[in-house]
Amino acid sequence: MHNLLQQFPWEISVFSVLLLTFISFWLSESKILPLVLFLISVVFGIVGGVLVYLSLISIVAFAILTYLFYQKNLPRLVKFTVFIAIFALTILTFLHLVPGYNNWQAYSDIKLSDKSPSFPLWFNFDKSLIAFFLLTFAYSPLRDSSKYKEIITKTLPFFGYLFITLFVFGAFLGYVVFDPKLPETEISLLWIIRMLFFTVLAEELFFRFFLQNNIIEVLKKFKNGQIIGLIISSLLFGLFHFSGGLNFVILASISGFLYGLVYIRTKYLESAILLHFVINLLHFFLFSYPYYINLT
């Protein structure tokens, strides 16, 4: 970690403040603290070169669009247009196609085992934007600690179903194999922080809270509208992972269905975040990651 601090002082400052921004949503009912922390991360990002001034255009666009969608009573056609704009801008930032962001590559070449390929470890500012603005204008995090016991209890059965389905099916497809390992502490810690706060949080807020909720809302007048909306959002989640190949799209679609289902059943997005994170955590530590390479 000392070497990283020497090499990337501004990058670590930017993403440390952004990390505190997300944590503060769960600690404070006021949105002032997260907003102040986010603005500090933006300033640090511009000074340190993680952001350029062009990035402010997309940041402001996210702010305006999510504010209009959730805080204003818009005519149906206008609201649909705003929905499409949020969807398009989010997908573009998830794919890192919006200019103005110099995301931080903390490691360029991590190889966890002989059964796994090398992969880089990125911290992405652009992917975090949808999470920040949905938390600011729409989603109210669960701060009642007593409720988390209920969430864990209700999520456990879904974890069992998904764990067996994913890793049995993944092994059948040749995508993963059992490969327990304990990577270096620094790599593991950075991966956990990146995965929970800069990947899972953004994906669950977008695909489950924003996309799934709104698709189900549109389809609720139809018979089985809820399950159809769940399937559509799950397939979109799977297709988003197209870079991993067809097998990964299939596994991600299955995962998305269970993440969405646990959210519907518990009514807490935290349950989907927990399930998504724990599945990825077990993948990292117990199976070939990010996938299996057969060298024989």
pLDDT tens readout for residues 77-88: 999 999 999 999
Q: What is the pLDDT of residue 46?
A: 97
**pTM score:** 0.96
Q: What is the pLDDT of residue 295?
A: 64
Mean pLDDT calculated for residue range 238-265 = 95
Residue 2: pLDDT band (50, 70, 90) is low
Q: What is the pLDDT of residue 167?
A: 85
User: Given a cut of 70, is residue 209 above it in pLDDT?
Assistant: yes
User: Given a cut of 80, is residue 296 above it in pLDDT?
Assistant: no
pLDDT tens-digit series, residues 18-50: 999 999 999 999 999 999 999 999 999 999 999
Closest CA to 22 of 154, 156, 123: 123
Mean pLDDT calculated for residue range 254-278 = 97
Q: Where are the domains of the chain?
A: 2-286
pLDDT tens-digit series, residues 135-187: 999 999 999 888 999 999 999 999 999 999 998 889 888 899 999 999 999 99
DSSP code per residue over 231-280: HHHHHHHHHHTGGG-HHHHHHHHHHHHHHHHHHHHH--HHHHHHHHHHHH
Q: What is the pLDDT of residue 273?
A: 98
Q: What is the pLDDT of residue 228?
A: 96
